[in-house]
């Protein structure tokens, strides 16, 4: 597959993006419904391509969790189609005027949402991302180039072909979405240099992928990095509420980025709080590691090493540290958090407000589980991923975050006076 022309693909996407920018919401929604129908109509073709990918992954002895994420089933395809129809039902973000004000010289100045242009998405195994990302980009009038993982190559190519044909069936360019048909890493590196043709690169995956993209890209990047989330139980907190929140944040779905990895507990409540919680967590199969004070208060806690405070377990493992103050908790989070989501459980209004203001993360919670960090749960209707950086988007990204705002100015012949 060497010799694949990524520049030509990006040029076609750029041309398509100019058509998409002018497409009506009605046409885009028709495309999204055609995309959903296409997935269902071609169910067998997609599942057959996926079965080949899965067979190769099994032969390469990937871990079973990996093979599971790669595997498509009829219900998973149904969910992908349903997702596309849900995106069709959301309001069109493009052309929205988010504010307009009048200047002393009677100029009307405002801001209008417009598409970014061409978005490149570089992601790892799960093939549902192909449909989700294609749908969100189309709704926001962006052309998209999708470069999925090597292991899902056949699946993604099948899905991409079907979705592109569906887009073409309503009169929009088929090149509005394209799947890179080769696993060649040199093609990704070349893609990252096409700064005149691609406007944004979104890498979703492990640390190595994100570092490679950040360091090699001449195009702006919004990274979807790891989640090392904390819950801090404050002095005077409702300890029943704190236990339920901590348990939920750790146990409900430990393999995702918004699950808790470290629990911080104020010394004033630790002795009452920790024994019961640790027992409940161990009952659920959680391996608990802790600082010396934690270990002295609850049985069955392994010693936590310095490395534990920086580890995203993504598993039924939790590290616990007893702190002497609110400030110590905030400092621990500043040093070890990844900026995805952080929570405090407290009954004190002042400290709740300080936590909201002082903790630097995409989502900061008072008295709720970090597991809610999700575009759907936040009421955004869709999610492209969760940005862990600060530029452009921080936290869950929805349709609005796939647009930018330009200034629009309505005049009646105003000209500018010379200045001193």
Residue list 64-123, contact with a copy of itself (CB under 8 A): 95, 101, 103, 107, 109, 112, 114, 116-117
Cα 19 to Cα 174: distance, rounded to the nearest angstrom? 11
Give the range of 57-65, 125-133, 177-185, 247-255 binding a copy of itself by CB under 8 A: 247-255
199 counts as binding a copy of itself under rule CB under 8 A? yes
Q: What is the 3-state secondary structure (H, E, C) of 191-247?
A: HCCCCCCCCEEEEECCHHHHHHHHHHCCCCECCECCCCEEEEECCCCCHHHHHHHHH
363 counts as binding a copy of itself under rule CB under 8 A? yes
Cα 136 to Cα 139: distance, rounded to the nearest angstrom? 5
368 counts as binding a copy of itself under rule CB under 8 A? yes
Half-sphere exposure of 289 (CA within 13 A, CB side): 17
256 counts as binding a copy of itself under rule CB under 8 A? no
195 counts as binding a copy of itself under rule CB under 8 A? yes
396 counts as binding a copy of itself under rule CB under 8 A? yes
Q: What is the 3-state secondary structure (H, E, C) of 19-51?
A: HHHHCCHHHHHHHHHHHHHHHHHCHHHHHHHHH
394 counts as binding a copy of itself under rule CB under 8 A? yes
Tokens of residue 306, six digits:
């310095």
Nearest distance, CB of residue 139 and a copy of itself, angstroms: 17
Question: For residues 182 and 389, which CB has a smaller minimum distance to a copy of itself in the complex?
Answer: 389
CA geometry: angle at 257 spanning 255 and 259, to 5°? 70
Cα 375 to Cα 362: distance, rounded to the nearest angstrom? 12
One residue of 80, 364, 397, 399 binding a copy of itself per CB under 8 A: 364
Cα 196 to Cα 27: distance, rounded to the nearest angstrom? 27
Considering only residues 310-339, where is the footprint of a copy of itself by CB under 8 A?
Answer: 334
How deeply is 335 buried, as exposed, middle or buried, from its count of CB atoms within 10 A (0-12, 13-18, 19+)? exposed
One residue of 220, 239, 271, 381 binding a copy of itself per CB under 8 A: 220
DSSP-derived 3-state class of residue 370 = helix
Residue with tokens 């192909």: 130
128 counts as binding a copy of itself under rule CB under 8 A? no
One residue of 121, 202, 260, 361 binding a copy of itself per CB under 8 A: 361
- The footprint of a copy of itself on this chain (CB under 8 A) covers a number of residues equal to 74
One residue of 214, 280, 282, 332 binding a copy of itself per CB under 8 A: 214
Tokens of residue 148, six digits:
């999925």
One residue of 2, 61, 64, 418 binding a copy of itself per CB under 8 A: 418
Cα 194 to Cα 10: distance, rounded to the nearest angstrom? 8
410 counts as binding a copy of itself under rule CB under 8 A? yes
Nearest distance, CB of residue 305 and a copy of itself, angstroms: 22
* Contact call for residues 223 and 387 (beta carbons, < 8 A): yes
Question: For residues 179 and 243, which CB has a smaller minimum distance to a copy of itself in the complex?
Answer: 243
191 counts as binding a copy of itself under rule CB under 8 A? no
Question: For residues 162 and 397, which CB has a smaller minimum distance to a copy of itself in the complex?
Answer: 397
37 counts as binding a copy of itself under rule CB under 8 A? no
Give the range of 1-9, 54-62, 144-152, 371-379 binding a copy of itself by CB under 8 A: 371-379
């Amino acid at each position: 597959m060497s010799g694949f022309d990524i520049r030509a693909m990006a040029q076609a996407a750029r041309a398509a993006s100019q058509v998409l920018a002018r497409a009506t919401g009605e046409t885009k929604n028709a495309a999204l419904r055609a995309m959903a129908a296409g997935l269902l109509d071609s169910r067998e073709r997609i599942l057959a391509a996926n079965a080949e990918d899965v067979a190769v992954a099994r032969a390469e002895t990937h871990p079973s969790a990996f093979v599971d994420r790669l595997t498509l089933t009829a219900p998973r395809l149904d969910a992908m189609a349903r997702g596309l129809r849900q995106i069709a039902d959301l309001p069109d973000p493009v052309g929205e005027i988010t504010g307009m004000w009048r200047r002393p010289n009677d100029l009307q100045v405002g801001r209008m949402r417009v598409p970014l242009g061409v978005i490149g998405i570089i992601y790892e195994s799960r093939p549902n991302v192909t449909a989700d990302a294609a749908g969100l980009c189309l709704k926001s009038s962006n052309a998209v180039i999708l470069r999925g993982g090597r292991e899902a190559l056949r699946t993604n190519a099948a899905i991409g072909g079907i979705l592109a044909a569906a887009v073409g069936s309503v009169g929009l360019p088929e090149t509005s979405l394209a799947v890179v048909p080769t696993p060649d890493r040199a093609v990704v590196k070349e893609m990252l240099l096409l700064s005149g043709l691609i406007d944004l690169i979104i890498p979703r995956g492990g640390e190595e992928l994100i570092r490679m993209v950040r360091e090699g890209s001449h195009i702006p990047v919004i990274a979807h990095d790891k989640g090392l989330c904390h819950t801090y139980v404050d002095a005077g907190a409702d300890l029943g509420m704190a236990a339920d929140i901590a348990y939920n944040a750790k146990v409900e779905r430990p393999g995702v980025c918004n699950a808790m990895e470290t629990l911080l507990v104020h010394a004033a409540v630790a002795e009452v709080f920790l024994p019961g919680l640790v027992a409940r967590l161990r009952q659920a199969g959680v391996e608990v590691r802790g600082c010396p004070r934690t270990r002295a208060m609850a049985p069955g806690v392994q010693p936590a090493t310095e490395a534990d405070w920086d580890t995203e377990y993504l598993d039924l493992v939790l590290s616990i540290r007893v702190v002497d103050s609110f400030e110590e908790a905030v400092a621990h989070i500043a040093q070890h958090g990844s900026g995805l989501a952080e929570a405090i459980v407290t009954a004190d209004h002042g400290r709740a407000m300080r936590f909201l203001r002082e903790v630097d993360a995409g989502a900061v919670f008072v008295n709720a589980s970090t597991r809610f960090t999700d575009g759907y749960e936040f009421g955004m209707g869709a999610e492209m991923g969760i940005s862990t950086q600060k530029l452009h988007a921080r936290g869950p990204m929805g349709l609005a975050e796939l647009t930018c705002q330009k200034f629009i100015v309505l005049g009646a012949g105003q000209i500018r006076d010379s200045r001193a």
